[in-house]
């Protein structure tokens, strides 16, 4: 636990790691003492349960066991978390018309972004359904799935809900580039979140968020070289290759972290030529950075933006608080 100052107010913050990402909980005013420690342990336990259910990197996770028999019609009885996660992924495939699809694990493995080995996996046919329901609780997978992004969003959703049930309403919960901002930050101001330049360097913008989730799909971290070409982890399920639409990062704000993650990835895959119209047609608050580094945003995003580097009208401190990067 650390106590930091945001503006003029002391704030309690806890830091750790989960789902291969930094995990951080920042509490609003009054968040100190034994109750704060309990809140952090609630978050840690919730993320551990989510990781054990959904991680493709853990040899012993439930998802790894399901992926190893995918395509063989083998029926399993998942935990509540994995069942809800697979159902959410299945719905996301249908809502997005297949532009979001977690069944890209074989492609990620082929490109070298490997998790737990899947020696018995069968890459069967796709189709509209991620899972086949066999009775009330039993499921089977047609193809191996990666629940990385949507899994992190769901883990944030569930942990934030557990904190709310315990009486914590002013929190900022972060897992890598995804986060949930509930209530208000120190002094009663909205939480201030910095949108990072994916090329490195200073933030490109700062946004104010209260009772919102923010997710970013970016090539800044997970990028590597295969056979002389640079690839990344954002796979287009229609081409089975890393998306190449002229974008470096897309950030979306929504009421739910899982759907913020889904739409940030869909918009990234659609590319620069389509992203503005797509995001506006859905009323999304979205920010994106093109290959040349320029930041653009939708009207809904503009209403939440309190500072941009391109329109530098003063320091971030003019709106109070302290920016936290959304990467």
80: Cβ–Cβ under 8 A, 6 or more apart, which residues?
Answer: none
Counting Cβ atoms within 10 Å, is residue 160 exposed (0-12), middle (13-18) or buried (19+)? Answer: buried
**Pick from 140, 205, 206, 178: which is nearest to 262 by CA?**
178
The answer, as to whether pTM is greater than 0.85, is: yes
Is 197 exposed, middle or buried (CB count within 10 Å of its CB: 0-12, 13-18, 19+)? buried
Q: What is the pLDDT of residue 9?
A: 62
What does the pLDDT read at residue 5? 39
Alpha-carbon distance of 100 to 267, in angstroms, equals: 10
Q: How far apart are CA 50 and CA 41, in angstroms?
A: 14
Look at residue 131 in the predicted model and tell me its pLDDT.
Answer: 84
List of the chain residues with pLDDT < 70: 1-10, 29-32, 120-128, 134-136, 313-327
Q: What is the pLDDT of residue 124?
A: 56
Q: Which residues pair with 21 in a beta bridge?
A: 18
């Amino acid at each position: 636990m650390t106590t930091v100052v945001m503006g003029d107010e002391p704030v309690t913050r806890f830091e750790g790691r989960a789902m291969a990402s930094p995990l951080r909980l920042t509490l609003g005013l009054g968040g100190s003492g034994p109750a704060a420690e309990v809140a952090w342990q609630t978050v840690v336990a919730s993320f551990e349960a989510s990781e054990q259910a959904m991680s493709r990197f853990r040899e012993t996770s439930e998802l790894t066991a399901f992926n190893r028999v995918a395509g063989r019609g083998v029926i399993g009885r998942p935990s509540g978390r994995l069942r809800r996660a697979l159902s959410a992924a299945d719905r996301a495939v249908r809502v997005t018309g297949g532009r979001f699809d977690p069944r890209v694990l074989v492609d990620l493995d082929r490109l070298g972004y490997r998790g737990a080995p899947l020696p018995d996996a069968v890459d069967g046919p796709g189709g509209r359904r991620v899972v086949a329901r066999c009775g009330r609780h039993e499921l089977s997978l047609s193809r191996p799935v990666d629940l990385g992004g949507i899994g992190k969003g769901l883990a944030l959703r569930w942990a934030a809900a557990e904190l709310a049930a315990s009486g914590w309403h002013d929190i900022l919960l972060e897992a890598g580039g995804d986060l949930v901002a509930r209530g208000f930050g120190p002094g009663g101001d909205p939480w201030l979140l910095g949108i990072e330049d994916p090329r490195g360097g200073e933030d490109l913008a700062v946004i104010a968020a209260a009772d919102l989730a923010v997710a970013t799909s970016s090539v800044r971290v997970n990028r590597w070289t295969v056979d002389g070409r640079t690839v990344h982890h954002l796979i287009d399920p229609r081409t089975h290759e890393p998306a190449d639409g002229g974008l470096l990062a897309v950030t979306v704000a929504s009421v739910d972290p899982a759907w913020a993650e889904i739409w940030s990835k869909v918009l990234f895959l659609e590319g620069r030529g389509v992203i503005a119209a797509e995001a506006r047609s859905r009323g999304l608050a979205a920010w994106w950075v093109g290959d040349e580094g320029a930041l653009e945003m939708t009207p809904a995003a503009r209403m939440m933006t309190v500072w941009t580097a391109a329109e530098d009208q003063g320091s971030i401190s003019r709106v109070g608080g302290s920016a936290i990067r959304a990467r």
